[in-house]
Structure 1
């Protein structure tokens, strides 16, 4: 952040004019020019003393109206600025904002409303600092200026944008139960305990007394493995799939992260238990219907960057195939697409931001529903839906009109 000079342009001009007057006075012997040069120097020095001498200190506290700021979302930042000084100065305040958020964080001080506030809009996901607060004051003649920092910085977390997606037509339990997945997690269903007859060796702590009284014989609780619809979202972060852009954001990777968040939240809202992982096997988030789960996933996705190498998808899925499987990747060629197997998932959806010739045809025989991910995340999702695969763009638009 560049520092402002002690003198304004007017002050610099006054010094130059004063110097010129002193030189002209010596050359021309004009006493008036000598007095004028001394006056300009004296005014400039006095202006610097008036602005720089007063001691000021203060504290700044910031409050952001939303805990997590979504890309393209607007939020209000309210500041409480406690300034300690001999007199209240008049000037301009400015809060330093990173490039990842936009907003008009400046105004006159002291404010007419008595409160400092401004609006910010998320531009790029990540965790970014806001601040410090800068107060710029100028002397009455406009010759000298002072810009002073107050308070510490505060971080704001910008999370990826979550889009509303169309319902997934294929549901767990379709195809005669072949899409059913099992889970031993307790508490997912309405009743995961059933009584059975006591067998010697069963723990007495598992006796089901109500069933024992009803049946007239000793019964124990048996934990049933309940049916729980699961979904898996995989974000391919392999460095080789994405363009290396340094500190600049890669639009394709940003779209992939946004689709990852949107798909996970959408599947959770459809009643699935959702696990979100990357292609190294690292768990990015787990959604089981709690708001904290959603926020935790969005925070994790706010920090992801392309890195590492991908593992085999079958090893990531494990022994129990999920219902819906959403795989999001970048550049995908025909050879890699042919090796990508959905590992028995009931509804495998494959999204690629840069499909190479033949990639889609190589993946589709394995059961993938392939779509190209561009700027419109919702449109890419619709293109991958089972009832829309194989349609031309005109037919897709027509199907959308009919459904609307």
Structure 2
């Protein structure tokens, strides 16, 4: 915190001028200079007393127009300051803002609206931050002395990741999303509704199609033609070695990944899926079932998430039936790591990586992933990664 000064620049200049006048009066034997110096001293003392003697107190309350502030979103802050003191000739109020939000939180006091203060803030960096306390800088009528006081407590503001609109996944499935797939699966049409596909590491042995295996000479598994589940899984890879772990500054790649995680999860909910959002260690970040509280809970969890620890094999993150869409969002991915990404027979395995190393995309494609580099343009990356094969029910295509 900067050192607080009792005198303004003008007050310090007046005090210095008085000292010089005292010296000059002694050197020149000019009493008038001594009188002027004494006047300046008295004015400075009077200014300090006016500013520092009165006891000023009062409660401060804040109201922010949005409970969750999205990165890039503008919100209004209303501050109510009921100060009990003599009227202030000149005051400057300032609400202390964290670096994670920007805004012009300063002005003259008293305001035109009495004790009501309003200003706008914009979300800059996700996280939970404190706004306040409110400080008041009081200056005497001559501008010689100043006093800075803090009033009230802080108010927490939660800045959540940006959610961007995405291209529909349902059109690639040839259906209207998770809800439509649920209906189709429940109808069922016996064994005619099944088609074999090549075995992928992690598939259940109970799904092996022995007749197709014998016919083709490769291990095949049963798969519904609509190959979907009303459940979707979004995995945010927080493995520390995949990200830049500098704590002083936000990693733009990880921020893009968090924004993509929020955008994809909420987008899949809109398409009718029940969505589970996990990190790479299996910790639940959110379970979305179409409720507003679920959405807010996920955004708050993502506002606090950071790279840490190690991850697990993806197929260990879901129990039993593989999900329909499976979206993995990760950072640096080399060919060796990509070759270990088993999706366990998910209907639409999608991989978004902020840094795809040489050969990583091809290694993931061989396992059935549809992948794309993740940039700050989350919508474009998502569209590039959409599995085009879903419209025809063919094999996976990696982009």
**TM above 0.5, one fold?**
yes
Alignment of 1:168-247 (within 5 A): 168=169, 169-171=171-173, 229-247=230-248
Aligned partners of 2:51 and 2:75: how far apart in 1? 35
1:73 matched residue in structure 2: 73
Q: Is the 8 A contact 2:91 2:136 kept in 1?
A: yes
Pairwise CA RMSD: 2.3
* Residues 68 and 159 in structure 1, CA contact (< 8 A), matched pair in contact too: yes
- Superposed CA offset, 1:19-76 (max 9, x none): 1111222222222222222222221111100111111101011111111100000110
Gaps of 5+ in 2: 187-227, 390-396
Indicate the SS of the match to 1:259.
Answer: helix
3-state SS of 1:12 partner: helix
Aligned to 1:372: 373
Say which SS state the counterpart of residue 339 (structure 2) adopts.
helix
Q: Provide the residue aligned with 1:96 in structure 2.
A: 96
Does structure 1 retain, via aligned residues, the 8 Å contact 2:62–2:78?
A: yes
Q: How does 1:294-305 map to 2 (within 5 A)?
A: 294-305=295-306
**8 Å Cα contact 2:239-2:280 kept in structure 1:** yes
- The number of residues matched between the two structures is 346
Q: TM-score, normalising length from structure 2? A: 0.83
Cα deviation 1:100-156 (Å, max 9, x = unaligned): 001111111111133211111100000000001111111111100111111100000
CA distance in 2, matches of 1:107, 1:282: 45
Match of 2:148 in 1: 147
Q: Distance in 1 between matches of 2:39 and 2:32?
A: 10
| Contact persistence 1:230–1:322 (CA under 8 A) | yes
Q: Which secondary structure state, in structure 1, belongs to the residue aligned with residue 317 of structure 2? A: helix
How far off is 1:90 after superposition?
A: 3.2
> What CA deviation, in whole Å up to 9, does each residue of 1:318-351 have, x standing for no partner?
3321000000000000100111111111000001
CA deviations 1:246-289 (Å, max 9, x no partner) are: 12111000000000000000000000000000011100000001
C-alpha deviations, 1:64-104, integer Å up to 9, x for none?
Answer: 11111000001101111110013355311111100000111
Separation of aligned partners in 1, 2:181 and 2:323 = 8
User: Could you say which residue in structure 1 is the equivalent of 2:308?
Assistant: 307
Distance in 1 separating the partners of 2:310 and 2:319: 18
Distance 1:88-1:29 versus aligned 2 partners, 3 A rule: closer
Equivalent residue of 1:83, what SS? coil
**Inter-partner Cα distance in structure 2 for 1:268 and 1:299:** 17
- Equivalent residue number for residue 130 of structure 1: 131
- Is the 8 Å Cα contact of residues 232 and 326 (structure 2) preserved in structure 1? yes
Structure 1 residue 390: Cα displacement: 6.3
Aligned to 1:157: 158
Which stretch of the first structure deviates more once superposed, 264-273 or 337-346? 337-346
Partners of 1:352 and 1:111 lie apart in 2 by: 51
1:4-403 aligned at under 5 Å gives the runs: 4-114=4-114, 115-168=116-169, 169-171=171-173, 229-387=230-388
CA distance in 2, matches of 1:27, 1:113: 54
Are the equivalent residues in 2 in contact too, given 1:181–1:323 (CA < 8 A)? no
CA distance in 1, matches of 2:63, 2:383: 39
What's the offset of the Cα at 1:170?
3.9
**8 Å contact kept, 1:91–1:136:** yes
CA contact (8 A) 2:361 2:398 kept: no
**CA–CA distance in structure 1, aligned partners of residues 97 and 83 of structure 2:** 21
Q: Does the aligned pair in 2 maintain the 1:181–1:230 contact within 8 Å?
A: no
In the aligned structure 1, how far is the partner of 2:302 from the partner of 2:288? 13
> How far is the alpha carbon of 1:352 from its aligned partner?
0.5
Q: TM-score, normalised by structure 1?
A: 0.82
The answer to which of 261-270 and 337-346 deviates more is 337-346
Residues of 2 paired with 1:238 and 1:228: CA distance? 28
Would the aligned equivalents of 2:5 and 2:146 in 1 still touch at CA under 8 Å? yes
SS of residue matched to 1:339: coil
- Structure 2 Cα separation of the partners of residues 387 and 280 of structure 1: 29
Deviation string, structure 1 residues 206-228 (Cα, Å, up to 9, x no partner)? xxxxxxxxxxxxxxxxxxxxx96
SS of residue matched to 1:268:
helix
Secondary structure of 2:344 counterpart: coil
CA distance 1:35–1:145, shift in 2 (3 Å): same
Q: Residue 172 of structure 1 contacts residue 229 of structure 1 at CA under 8 Å; is this kept in 2? A: no
